[in-house]
Every structure is written in structure tokens, then in C-alpha cells.
Structure 1
Amino acid sequence: MSASSVRRHIQDLSNATELEHHWGYADRAVPCTNDAGSCSYLDAVYSAHDNGMMYTGIIWATIGGILFLWVLLRQSSHSSIPLSIQTTRLSGIRKIRISMAAVTRRYLLPDASRWIFGRTSRLQVLVLAVLAGYLLIFSFVGIVYNTWVTPVSGMPGVYNTRASIGPWADRVGVLAYALTPLSVLLSTRESLLSVITGLPYQSFNFLHRWLGYIIFVQSSLHTIGWCVVELRLYQPQPSVGIEWITQTYMIWGLVAMSLLLLLFVLSTPWGIRMTGYETFRKMHYILAMVFIGACWAHWKQLKCFLLPSLIFWGLDRATRLLRTAFLHYHPNEPSVLGFKSLDAAITIFPDKEYGAVIRLELENIQDPWSIGQHYYLCFSKGSIWQSHPFTPLNAPLVEQGKVRHSYILRAKKGETKKITELAVGGVSHTPIILTGAYGESITRHLTPTTNILCVAGGTGITYVLPVLLNLARQASWPERKLELIWAIRKSQNTEWVREELALLRSMQTELSLSIRIFATRDVTSETSQNAKVLASKLLPTPQGHEEIAQTSQSSSTPGSHGKEGLPLEVELGSVDLSKRPDIRGMVKSFVDNTIGGPTTVFASGPGGMLSELRTVVAASNSGSKFWAGQERFDVRLICDDRLEW
């Protein structure tokens, strides 16, 4: 036991017969030979700490139990029993499970309070509320609440006030330590939680951010509590306060609290805007690890929570490097020690209003990724210290031992702007370093009986196109409905994915696919005519059928349908940004007109569009109607933010 701990708890080691070990705390000298009030206070302190350590065990046991049940449910829902046997034996269980899921989506899928939580579903906020309530209870239970006034040895008439604020401050500090590994787990890209739950790592970002806020509040209360005790309640002052604040463990405590305050400020929207996202991300990594080291120096007895945090972080970084190495290790090709970057062809689509859009094409010898997964791209000509996530827009196919990657990215600033400048300057290729693939495969949602609605805004088309391209390679179910809704600013933006749209266009009849493209910034009659010509070139109509429609704010000409009644519409809207596709109405119409089977909505685009989709998809679900046999009231939403419902 350190000398600082002895002074802190006025323990008399000279008359003690033994030291009593308390996990995570200073050893206690027994028997207590101080005055009765001090001994009673020490009883309360050590009892509260022991209870707190037990509660941290309960918290982690609860987390472990939830993850274990999650694994069991995942296994049961992906049973290997043949479908015919499943239908006979498990139809009742499956019916109950899907009905409950529909009820959950109806009430918990929409956004929660946006001005507090941003564009976050109610389920995420509910999970946060349950965790916060759990922690609130354990912050106060198991503590003896009392006040002890004890004499100061050798100073007649001077008294210490010992209160339960000390044990309580210790409790919230212990909980902050105990939550640190969970915070790290929620932040890792190579997520162990993703392996266990099947949820992609982005699903945990909201909880990571808010758990960080909780740890900041706990640490602040811990600091404030002990400042009140040592600088006000203990006497005589200021000598007691000065002696306390100059101890080594306290100096490190102040360092840790300062680092945590900096982490909190920089993680706010204001802080991220001030520093820039990439700077914030790098600083966050460094500050977090230094903070954990300062916590270790402040109270090493609780290193049992800090060591796993460092291990989780280290494994995440090492696994990222290994992923990149495996993707780029080609010993049979000219390279440095077998490792080489990939050469990506650049195609630029200039747009003064929207900003240039770039298409990258590259090939690599690798295993194909799964539909819905994404890669991190590092543009090595700009900076090897930055990488950005992008979803391949093409289907993952191996041809002659290689897999082709196609990406679309909007050039705003930073690395993407540098690539644009290269393309404008006449550079046709650029080296790329890949890391991935990340994210959950969404092919399990593409069952033959599931109706598919794809909704995209702008470059969000890259997330939904692979879904349709994958379906184009499968046998079609006659009663299944497929539809693509794509909102773009100008009709010429279809150039981004001309080849892929042409392929889907040629298979519209076979797929029972309807394609609707909304160009929201094409408004003049001249532009409308140009759009019609451009759309005809990009998306050729089968001979003898004209199936392209244009509408504007002043006039509307409905498009004619082909022999199967499957339109391709390029709908030209208003410059007024409020004149956007009626997503709510179109989703509702799609679901209402399905013949049979559930519906899955795949979506990617602006936050406002995704929020609207959450609301309308939630309203389309009904557990009672599904239970009554109406499968169309089982509607799932899978967004590009990787939240699956």
C-alpha cells in the first residue's frame, strides 16, 4: 500500500496485525485503531468499493449474457435444416419471431429526437437509455450514506468531515474505468462485436460516442467529488489540499481528466468542424491511448480494465495492416517484396454546381467481396495517412483470376479533390491502396420471395446497384417486384453508371424491374429534350418500345410502358429543392401493390432521405397483420449506414 493511500485513509499501519486485500483498491490495515468515526468511515469506504467491483462484474456478465443469447438466436435463424423441414417444424416459431420484429420496427425504427441525437433510430437511443439507467442504479446502490465528524490528530478543536461523497466518487470512477474496454470495442473497425452479433462496425458508432460522453461525466463527477472532500471537508486547509494535489497519482489523475476533456471537446460537431475529420480521427486515436496510460498511472490497481483496452486497440490496428497486406501481396508481379499498390483508371464527370464526380476502375487478384461490403481507399499520391470508405458499384465477379472494382466518389475537398486535380491535369491513372472488405453481407436478404425496392440519392447509387446486378444473375420469381428509385440533380448524371444501367435496362422484363430516375435540377424544355435524347442513348429501349418519360414543374408527360408494363422514367423536377421524389408515397405504393412475400428496402443517400425512409418503412410494418397471414406487412430497411431492420 502506497504512502499516499495511508495518508488518504488515515490508517495506522504500526498497530495493524495484517493487511486485508481489496481487489482494485489499496490494502486495508486491520484491525482499525483510529477513532470510532474514522473506523466506521473506513468500513463504509471499503464496503462501497467491494460492492462497486461486484457491480462491474455484473455489468460485464450482463453484456456477455446478451452476446451469448444473440449468438444462439443467430444460429437458430440460420439453421441448416432443409427448408421443407423448417417450414413444417418451425413455421410457428418463425411466425412469432417475424411478427415481433415487425412490431419492433414499427415503433423503434424512426428517428429519435434529432436535435439531441442526430439521425439516430429510436432503438439505438433505447439501448443507450437502458445502459444509462443500469449505470445510474449501480452508481448509488450499495453505499452507506452518512456523515462522520472526526478529530484531527494533534490539533484540538479541528475536525474532519467525512461523508459518503467520497465512496460515491470512487464508485463512479470505478465504473468509468470498467466501461473503457467497452468503449474501445465499440470503436474498432475490426470489431469483435461484429463477429459475435453480425452487425457491421458502423452500427456501434452511436453507442461509442455516447458511452464516451457518459465516461466523461463519470470522470468529472469523480474529480469534483474528491476535490470537495480534499479541498473543503478535510482539515486543516490549505495544507491538506496542497499535500493531496501534489501527490504523483493525483498529478496523473489531473492529466487524465485534461486529456478526457480534450477528447470530449474535439468529438463534438463543433470540434470536428474546427479540426477537420481526418485530423480529429488521428488525434482521437493518440489522445485515447495516452488517456488510458494516464489512467493506469493514476490508479494502477484497476489496470484489469485498462490492459484489455490497449489489447483491443492494438489488435484492431494489427488486423487492419494484415488485411491490407493480404490484398496487395502479389509475389509474381513486379513489386517491392511482393507488395504493390493497385493502378486505378480515372474518369471524371465535371459539374460546376454539384462538384466533380470521379469514377475509378481497378483490378486485383483476390477473393470477391460480398454484396453490401465496402473498402477503404487510400490515395497514395495524396497521403498514405488517410483512407476513406467506398462501396464498389459492380457485382463481385472473378474473371481470369482477377476481381474488378468500380467506385464513384464525389470530389469535395481533401484527397478526392487532389484526384480531381490530377484528372483535370491529364492524369488517367492513380495508385490506390485498399483495405477491406468491411461490413455485413446483405445477400441473405435477397431470397427469391422477397420484393426488393432500391432507393438512392446521388452517388448513393453505388450501394444499391450491386443488389440489382446480383439479382440479374439469379433465377427470377414471377411474383417478385423489383424497383429502383434514383434521385439525381441532372439527367446527364446517369453517365456515372451507364454500363450498369444499360445492363439492367436490357433485363427489365426478365427481372420484373421498374426503373425510375428523378433529375431534380433539369427544368427547361430545352433541357428536357436533351435529357430525353441522352437517356435514350444511355439506356436504350428495346426495339419498338418507347418507355422514357419526362416531367417538369410546368408540364407532365406520362411515360408509355412496354409490353410488360415496366417503365424506365427520367422524371425532371424543379430547381426548388423541396420538389423531390415523393419517397413516402412511392414506398407505400410499392408495398401496397406487392403480390406476396415480404419487402426489403435498400437505401443510400442524404440523411434526410434515410430519415424519411425509416418513418415510412416503420409505418408499413404490422405484427398483427403479418400474424393474420399478410406477408407484405413485414418490411425491412437496410441503409448504407449499415443499420439493418
Structure 2
Amino acid sequence: MKTGDTGTYIHFDSRHEAGEHGSGDHHHSSTHYINVKFGYYLFFLSIAHAIAIWAYHRVFFQRPRKPSLGFSALPWVNFPLVLSVGAWLAISLAILCYSGAYAIAIKRFGRLSYALVPFDIFLALRPNIPPIPYLSTLDLHKWVSRLIILYGLMHGIGYLVKWGLEGVFGKTFLLLNLLGLVVFILFIPLLVISARYFRRKYYRTFYALHNITLFVFLGLITFHARPGVLFFTSLSVLLLIYQVFCRVFRVCTVQNVEIISSDYSSLLIARISKPTDYHYFPGDHLRLTYSPTNFKAWIFPTHPYTIASFPDEPYIDLVLRSPSSFYLGSDCQYSISYSYTTMNLSGLKHAKSVHLVAGGTGISFILPVAKLLLSWGVFFSTTWVTRNKYDLHILKALNVKGNIDTYITGATEKQNKTSDPEEAHGLMSSAESENVELEDLSATKEEKPSGSSLKFGRPPLKDILNYLTEGDVSKNWVITAGPHSLVSEIETWGKLNGVGVLSELYEM
């Protein structure tokens, strides 16, 4: 298996096929370099795509816009994924079908796979270059990674079949070809575990395998590929060096982490003393991990959280699901990244009405945004959907004073703690809504936002949001944060009713 090119189907260059090192005057067949240009074609297209993403967000991220032309209700937040992935598939297939020769086509699979690696790393950089909302590149990163794996597997399978039919299967185990076989073997479990179900269930395993495969891929294919791919390797390594630099030098080290929890609650608060000169805006996020001096920081993934506290407070509050797979305690040092923004809210200063809808830990995004709207004098209402009524303890801990209509979707009072985002949202279509006074939760009125209501069952979102469809809807907005089921339902509603929707998706 090779990333580069060879001769015709019948005659093969011995060094390229068998992995033997030739002398400087070694003769290459006329098609040995034919695929090199296609790798560069794809690379320059990826550069153009990166520029397009930046330009798109430069224009559309400046000010919220209403849904139009049948696109998503959030065209300024997410560069249309269907268009991006569809374009890459069409371009790749066009390049692959340019030559009908089987031998040339299967070599081209390998070269295209490796040519996409720099772009894929670029999409995964945190923080992004240039600074754009990282969620806008996350889904595209997943799909480009799948294309890389798919092309790599097709390249490998193509050669295994070819050599098997020709009776020269032993070429697979020659040194340079064996390097490609190692990568081929790693690609198979990575493709399986990258599926949404397995990725969410075994995320740490996925993350470790993902990184191991990346470094093995970069290292082995550098020698395996003929003609060479040193340009793509060098660029990929430079991007990884930048990422390591950010993980070491663009972080703040913290140690005093206070955990605020409550019996039976599925949510807890991690309160961190705010480092000196640490700045952020309402609705910003950060990434939390172990200190760079701790080996766990390089093995396990960083954890993205929304900053639930307001910028003028002396601490940073994070809302986490309980129990958390990420250990937090005062006996360990941690590092937090500089804050980053995924949503431009400045265009809402002149909004008439805004409804905030949170699901589960999405309340961490909604609360500071609510304070921001209050400071601007914008009318807003807030709805929170959570599975466990004992989660309300975080409202007291976060010193919430406003009105919040809370819907509890769990079936029993003492809920089992869950780490599944969909269950955490827990919209149950069969549940009946029941008004319950907040003080019934063994808490005083002062411990809960005055004037708020607590209900059990699925929130009737269409009825709740209906008032936004009255009069001039151009100045009415919905801001939602939570799992896919909640976000998708509200985005669909907004598109049908012409009401603008800003959303944050709280899922892996």
C-alpha cells in the first residue's frame, strides 16, 4: 500500500511497489508522479475553504440575521455543513475519477487522504486560526477526518485486493509497505469508535486512539509514501507545535477549586478563583484540563465548559454534570484556557423581546446572557428544562434573582444521576404539566428566584414561544442552549415562524 504513484497495472516500479530503496539514478515509470499534482490540488482547495470559513464568519458573525433562503436558522454561526461536506465529496470523487486506471486510482486514494491532514488539524485547533467560533469547525473536522480514514482504507483495500489477485500478496509485508499496513489497521477501530454512539460512550478511549493514530499516521506515512509527502508532514507538524504552545503558554494555572453539590442532584458547580487579568464576556467558554506538568493533560481530552458567572464576579463558575468523569479537587493543579466566544450577542441590544431556553447544563450559558440583556434594558423571559428538581440548588449557588420557569421532566423525585446529554434534557411527551410552588422543595422563598414557577413534564414550547410571533417579529429572538433534541426543535420552530434563533449545542 502506498500514498504515491506507480507504473501501469502490468508493469510496476520495484522500489515503489516493493518498498526497496533505489539509487539516485533509479528509473521511475511515466506515471510515478501523476498523482502528486492532485494532492496539491486538494491542499490548495482546503486553503481556499479555510479562507472562505473565515470570510463567512467575518461577514455573518458581526450581526445576527434572520433565517432566509431556506438555510439554517443560524447561517452566521455554522457554515452550512451539508454544503461543505457535499462539496468535498464531489471534488474528491471528481479527482479520483479523473483517471480510469485502477492502479493509479487506488494510489490517488492514499495521497488525497494524506493531503487533507493539514486542513483537518487546522479545523481542530483550539484556539482557531484565525479566531472564529470553534463550533463552526467542529462538525466539519469530524467529517474531514472520516474522509481521511475512508480514503486511507480504500487505498489499503485496493492494494490488498490487487496484490492478492496478482499472486504477490507478500509485497504487503515489505518494510515500507508494512508501515502503511500499520496505519490501515489503526484506521479500522478508529472509524468504528468515531461513530456518535461509541464516541460519546467511550470518549476517552476515542480521544486516545484518535491522537495515537494521528501521530502514527504522520510518522509512518512520511516514509511510506512514494513520491514523498514531506510538505504535508511539515505543515501538519507546525500546526501541532502551535497547538502544544497554546496548551502550555496560553493557559492560566489554577488550584483552588470549590465544588458545590447537593444530594440527589445531577448537577454541580465548580467554583474557581479568577486569575488576575483574566477577562471574558457573558456566554464565553473555556477549556479545563490538568496542569501541563501533569501527564494526564497530554493523555486525556480537555473539557469545554461555559462560564456561568458574570465578568465582574471574583470567581469563575462552571456547571458540570454529576458525577463528572473529570476529577476536580483542591489537591490538584489545573489549567484553564483563555476564554473564547461562539456567539455574537451585540446585535441583540435593540431587540424587542428575547426568550431564553436552556436544557440541563445549558443553564450555564443562559444565566450570564440574561444578566447582559438586563443591563441593556431588553425584555426577556427564561425557561429551563432539567430532569431533576434537586438541580435547582445551583440557582441559589449562582445567586439567581430573576424569574425562571423551570420544567422538571424526570419521573421520580430522587432521580438517578445521568451523564447522557439526551437524558439530561429528558423531554417526555406523555408527562402532564403540574404547577408546584418552589418552596415545596424544602427551601425558603429567598433561596429561589422570586416569582418563578416550577412545573413537571414536557414544556409546551410552541405555546411558550407563541408571543414572539405577534406584531413585528424582526426584533424578536430565541436563545437556546442544550442537547440536540431541544435545539433542533426550537430552530425548526424559529424557521417556520420567521423568528431568529441563536443556539449553543451541549453535546460531544
Task: Report the TM range for the smaller structure's normalisation.
Answer: 0.7 to 0.9
Amino acid at match of 1:583: L
Structure 1, unpaired ranges of 5+: 14-25, 33-41, 79-96, 111-120, 146-163, 329-340, 420-426, 506-514, 542-567, 574-578, 622-632
Query: For residues 101-500 of structure 1, what are the structure 2 equivalents within 5 Å?
Result: 102-104=67-69, 106-109=70-73, 123-141=80-98, 143=99, 145=100, 164-192=101-129, 195=131, 198=132, 200-233=133-166, 237=167, 240-242=168-170, 244-269=171-196, 271-272=198-199, 276-299=202-225, 301-324=228-251, 327-328=252-253, 341-351=254-264, 354-355=265-266, 357-378=268-289, 384-385=296-297, 386=300, 387-397=302-312, 403-416=314-327, 432-440=334-342, 442-449=344-351, 451-474=353-376, 476=377, 480-489=378-387, 491=389, 493-498=391-396
Shift of 1:68: 6.5
Of the two structures, which has the highest relative contact order with CA contacts closer than 8 Å and spacing of 6 or more? 2
Query: For residues 585-596 of structure 1, what are the structure 2 equivalents within 5 Å?
Result: 585-587=463-465, 589-593=466-470
1:394–1:406 Cα contact (<8 Å) kept: yes
Q: Deviation string for 1:443-467 (max 9, x for gaps)?
A: 3243233532210123321111011
Q: Deviation string for 1:583-612 (max 9, x for gaps)?
A: 23322x132136564333222223321221
- 2: CA distance, partners of 1:471 / 1:270: 37
Shift of 1:289: 0.8
Shift of 1:642: 10
Q: Who is 1:581 aligned against?
A: 459
- 2: CA distance, partners of 1:525 / 1:614: 26
Amino acid at match of 1:518: Y
> Mean alpha-carbon deviation: is it higher for 361-370 or for 495-504?
495-504
Counterpart selection for 1:63 from 40, 44, 49: 49
1:109–1:123 Cα contact (<8 Å) kept: no
Shift of 1:63: 2.2
Identity across the alignment (%): 18
Q: Secondary structure at the match of 1:405?
A: strand
Q: Secondary structure at the match of 1:349?
A: coil
Q: Who is 1:531 aligned against?
A: 440
1:370–1:442 Cα contact (<8 Å) kept: no
- 2: CA distance, partners of 1:123 / 1:67: 10
User: Larger C-alpha radius of gyration, 1 or 2?
Assistant: 1
1:455–1:485 Cα contact (<8 Å) kept: yes
Cα 1:282–1:58, aligned 2, differ >3 Å: closer, same or farther? closer
Q: Secondary structure at the match of 1:102?
A: coil
Structure 2, unpaired ranges of 5+: 16-22, 414-431
Q: Deviation string for 1:62-88 (max 9, x for gaps)?
A: 42552464376369x57xxxxxxxxxx
Cα 1:470–1:430, aligned 2, differ >3 Å: closer, same or farther? farther
Q: After TM superposition, which residue ranges in structure 1, 4 or more long, deviate above 6 angstroms? A: 4-8, 26-30, 522-527
TM-score (norm 1): 0.63
Q: Secondary structure at the match of 2:375?
A: coil
Q: Who is 1:336 aligned against?
A: none
- Count of residues in correspondence between the two structures: 469
- 2: CA distance, partners of 1:446 / 1:642: 25
Shift of 1:9: 5.2
Cα 1:642–1:74, aligned 2, differ >3 Å: closer, same or farther? farther
- 2: CA distance, partners of 1:605 / 1:393: 14
Shift of 1:294: 1.1
